[in-house]
Amino acid sequence: MENISDVKMMGQRCEKLRRQGRRIAFVPTMGYLHEGHLSLLHEGRRRGDILALSIFVNPIQFGVGEDFETYPRDLQRDSDLARAAGVDLLFTPRREDLYPEDFSTHVSVSGLTENLCGRSRPGHFRGVTTVVCKLFNIVRPHIALFGRKDFQQLAVIRRMVRDLDMAVEVRGLPIIREKDGLARSSRNVYLEAEERRQALALVDSLRLARRLVLAGESRAAVILQAVADRIRREEAVRIEYVQICHQDTLQDMEWVTADSVLLLAVQVGRTRLIDNHILWEEIT
């Protein structure tokens, strides 16, 4: 495994591989890898001749008062996991290289970014699309893999790629869950034992919603009320949003269809967690 920090060197390395006809699969992350990330790497190993992984805690997608400084980091641990997963190129760019002092260009996607997380995290998705655009320009992957836990992020990146005619296939993979159902997240390490137990209200509420849909309920308002009532039973959990949206447009829906996705964001103690489920699919 090659570990490259220099932006120019990474670009040259990937360009050489492309000229050799090698297919590059790319997994961009902020590190502190877990089973969700590893599932993306395993799929990337299957789909590409070259597997590239980036680790960069992106400062411009964090808002004021968010956890940029305390976001979990362990590059040695991540490097060991990456090597074991078959990563060929580990890209760990320096902040000053990606964002020099006179940096003044950003990529913004409108519409999809105004609902859900976009309401409470102004500027977040502009930070995401800017860094992903830069990483795509450097690595020039044929395929990039993302987890569906960050459902809105995946939709926004797909729209950016489509609108800007980027020559990369964006593929979303299913959420990887702990044995008890909690969605894997680097931020799960923040949870105290009791908070973690109460956080299971998220997956419980997704399962409740699916049971209602299978029983014939199609009114979004009824399902959302049941979901909110379940979550509010937990004292440590505060709802940020509970919404049923169209999975392509991310607009709120009054009736559940095959295109409906239930999206949740909550605060559990000091930890912000998100989860989602396309209501007509099984929950693994």
Residues taking part in catalysis: 37
Cα–Cα distances in Å, from 120 out to 60, 125, 157, 172? 15, 11, 19, 24
Say if CB 226 and CB 215 are below 8 A apart. Answer: no
